[in-house]
Amino acid sequence: MSMLRYCYELDVKYVTIYAFSIDNFKRRPEEVQPLMELIREKIEGLTNEESIVNQYGIRVHFVGDLNLLDESVRLAAERATAATSQNSRAVLSICMAYTSTNEIMNAVK
């Protein structure tokens, strides 16, 4: 999160991070599950009142096919989006269950 702080201090209004590719689902379940748990924990941390996104008024937006994620991760992402929806100083886009190819294919449909 310190990189997000630097971006904010440099007046960067839009930051996108690539957190989890659709291709990562090809890994063994015993590899994917701990990652899902870690991602859920980190997302839940974004909604804490003292989190950097709330301190600096950063809205969180998720990009990707969230339906592919574990339900607990998807729900955490939805809560984080709702909890930060009124923040307007900057936007943090988090790409999860995402590939550019999938994004283009869905846009063409």
* Domain range annotation of the chain: 2-108
pTM assigned to the model: 0.87
Could you write out the DSSP letters of every residue in 7-62? HHHTT--EEEEEEEEGGGGGS-HHHHHHHHHHHHHHHHHHTSTTSHHHHTTEEEEE
Average pLDDT over residues 2-31: 93
Choose among 46, 72, 74, 73: nearest CA to 60: 46
Higher pLDDT pick, 4 / 30: 30
**How do residues 22-42 score in pLDDT, each as one tens digit?**
999 999 999 999 999 999 999
Fold of 2-108: Undecaprenyl pyrophosphate synthetase (3.40.1180)
According to the model, what pLDDT value does residue 1 have?
A: 58
Average pLDDT over residues 5-34: 94
